[in-house]
A and B are shown apart, each in its own frame.
Chain A
Amino acid sequence: MKYLEDVVTLRYQAEACTGCGRCLEVCPRGVFVRSNGKVALTDPALCMECGACMSNCPEGALTVRAGVGCAAAVLNGLLRGGEPSCDCSGDSGSSNCCG
């Protein structure tokens, strides 16, 4: 499943990339593939802006405005005039959140 097109803030700077492969390891959406000793993006619209690739890229080759894609959090931020903030301190406990 894919979300909206043309909104994703993920940016990749190939010059900085050493091809270490860390982003392939952490991305839960299969956004990266290996390509000529570096990486390439399959489809940026798959990205859910979790920020895992950015925080783990040792070269700083990846940037993304990371945050929670949660309408309640976005609404909270709008109403309180701050950043989107997630109040639900628990979570699903679903099979997706294996721990």
Chain B
Amino acid sequence: MSDVLWVPKKTAPPWADGFQETPAGRIPRVAVAWGKAEQRGRRLCRWSNAFRMSYTVDPGLYAAGNPSPESPVLVTANYKLSFDLLRRELPGIDAWILVLDTKGINVWCAAGKGTFGTGELLRRLQSVKLAEVVSHRRLVLPQLGAPGVQAHVVKQESGFAVDYGPVRAEDLPAYLRAGRKATPEMRAVRFGWKDRLELTPMELLPALRRYPWLLLGLFLLFGLQPQGILFRPALAGGWSFALLGLAAILTGSFLVPLFLPCVPFRSFALKGWLAGAVLTGAFLALRWGALSGNLFLVVLAAAFFPAASSYLALMFTGTTVYTGLSGVQKEMRFALPLYIAALAVTAACAVLAVLRYWGLL
């Protein structure tokens, strides 16, 4: 976003259906219905980091419906998906939408960084001359923006009182109808099956992107022969480990997150390790005939794959909505030395296993 606080645009953006005149200038009126572009944008946000990080809307003031000076002011972030999710809930509601410059980041993450915050809110109130546009002095902020905002300071500095609306935009109409009263459900973050299923691609995709490195390692481990690197033994020995690696990634990044409440332990590292250990145990039992000749491979599998699942499950704490910093730090203090140890054992066993094939051990 530019530093120019608000430049009225001559042409309406594609998601606008006109303009509204205000004492502070002409502002776009947003269409409340979603089209194909919004659907597509939402899908892409879930799958592509690059797309998500450039999916923005200009900060400033917008109209929904036919707002009057008495209409409520709804504040949001300039991440386009946040903006879309908000306007989708507004059919039949006349309101002002105040978009803060959060560098294209959603309300929750921006509040954590402070970009959805008191300073930006105060600046934006000034630049859109909100005090001239509305006659009242109240704002509705999304509840998840609260970590970045000091409501009492906003009131002191601008005269605008802050009401925190519900966590989810879908509850906004009911909240407004109830006279700005939120039920306890509206105030609580939710992390059910559906939410977790929607969020797993965020963890799974980056993990899968690292999979080729594992394949390369396995290729070397099984293909490195005294005569050079041979393709046939690499394939013959490596395929089952390659499958195990894929399964360990799916376990840590997809199954554990999805079945989170069913997996024992509260620690994510332990949840992931347990699931990975069950998987690796089953694998070793199945492949015992082929592996018992080289026990170094057995130790390698037992050290590496449960640790990999554990690490990936621990990374899911970034996506959850109930893990706090202190808990994650505690887990990391325990887990990190163990991951390093597991990697050391893996490397040592790989060398020993190769020497073993070559008949040197």
Instruction: Identify the A interface with B (CB < 8 A).
Output: 1-5, 7-9, 22, 24-30, 46-52, 55-56, 58, 65-75, 78, 84, 86, 88-99
- Could you tell me the distance in whole angstroms from the C-beta of B315 to the nearest C-beta in chain A? 5
Please state if A99 and B315 are interface contacts (CB–CB under 8 Å): no
Please state if A97 and B106 are interface contacts (CB–CB under 8 Å): yes
Given contacts A3-B323, A4-B267, A90-B53, contact A99 B190 (CB under 8 A): no
Please state if B325 and A84 are interface contacts (CB–CB under 8 Å): yes
Please state if A48 and B322 are interface contacts (CB–CB under 8 Å): yes
Do most interface residues of chain B lie in helix, strand or loop, or is the interface mixed?
helix
Please state if A68 and B151 are interface contacts (CB–CB under 8 Å): no
Please state if A98 and B142 are interface contacts (CB–CB under 8 Å): yes
Q: Which residue of B lies closest to A23 (CB)?
A: B146
| In the bound complex, CA of A84 to CA of B81 (Å) | 26
Q: Is B274 an interface residue (CB 8 A)?
A: no
Find chain B residues with CB under 8 A from A65 CB: 325-326
Please state if A9 and B261 are interface contacts (CB–CB under 8 Å): no
Please state if A68 and B315 are interface contacts (CB–CB under 8 Å): no
Q: Give 1 or 0 for each of B327-344: 1 = CB within 8 Å of chain A CB.
A: 111111000100000000
Q: Which of B108, B315, B326, B336 has the most CB of A within 10 A?
A: B326
Interface Cβ pair total, 8 Å cutoff: 214
| In the bound complex, CA of A58 to CA of B336 (Å) | 39
Find chain B residues with CB under 8 A from A84 CB: 325, 329
| In the bound complex, CA of A84 to CA of B316 (Å) | 16
Query: How big is chain B's contact interface, by range?
Result: 35 or more
Please state if A1 and B49 are interface contacts (CB–CB under 8 Å): no
Given contacts A71-B268, A94-B198, contact A99 B53 (CB under 8 A): no
- Could you tell me the distance in whole angstroms from the C-beta of B47 to the nearest C-beta in chain A? 10
Instruction: Identify the B interface with A (CB < 8 A).
Output: 42, 45-46, 49, 52-53, 76-77, 79, 81-83, 85-86, 103-109, 111-113, 142-144, 146-152, 164, 166-170, 182, 184, 187-191, 194-195, 198-199, 202, 260-261, 266-268, 314-332, 336
Please state if B187 and A25 are interface contacts (CB–CB under 8 Å): yes
Our pick among B108, B150, B315, B325 for the contact of A96 (Cβ within 8 Å) is B108
Please state if B332 and A98 are interface contacts (CB–CB under 8 Å): no
Q: Which residue of A lies closest to B49 (CB)?
A: A90
Please state if B332 and A74 are interface contacts (CB–CB under 8 Å): yes
Q: Which of B147, B191, B261 has the most CB of A within 10 A?
A: B147
- Could you tell me the distance in whole angstroms from the C-beta of A55 to the nearest C-beta in chain B? 5
- Could you tell me the distance in whole angstroms from the C-beta of B58 to the nearest C-beta in chain A? 15
- Could you tell me the distance in whole angstroms from the C-beta of B274 to the nearest C-beta in chain A? 16
Please state if A71 and B322 are interface contacts (CB–CB under 8 Å): no
Please state if B107 and A98 are interface contacts (CB–CB under 8 Å): yes
Please state if B328 and A48 are interface contacts (CB–CB under 8 Å): no
Given contacts A69-B328, A71-B268, A84-B325, contact A93 B45 (CB under 8 A): yes
User: What are 10 A-B pairs with beta-carbon distances under 8 A?
Assistant: A4-B266, A7-B324, A7-B326, A51-B147, A69-B327, A72-B315, A74-B325, A89-B105, A91-B106, A97-B106
Q: Which of B81, B195, B325 has the most CB of A within 10 A?
A: B325
Find chain A residues with CB under 8 A from B86 CB: 98-99
- Could you tell me the distance in whole angstroms from the C-beta of B255 to the nearest C-beta in chain A? 17
Please state if B260 and A1 are interface contacts (CB–CB under 8 Å): yes
Find chain B residues with CB under 8 A from A22 CB: 151-152
| In the bound complex, CA of A95 to CA of B79 (Å) | 14
| In the bound complex, CA of A9 to CA of B326 (Å) | 7
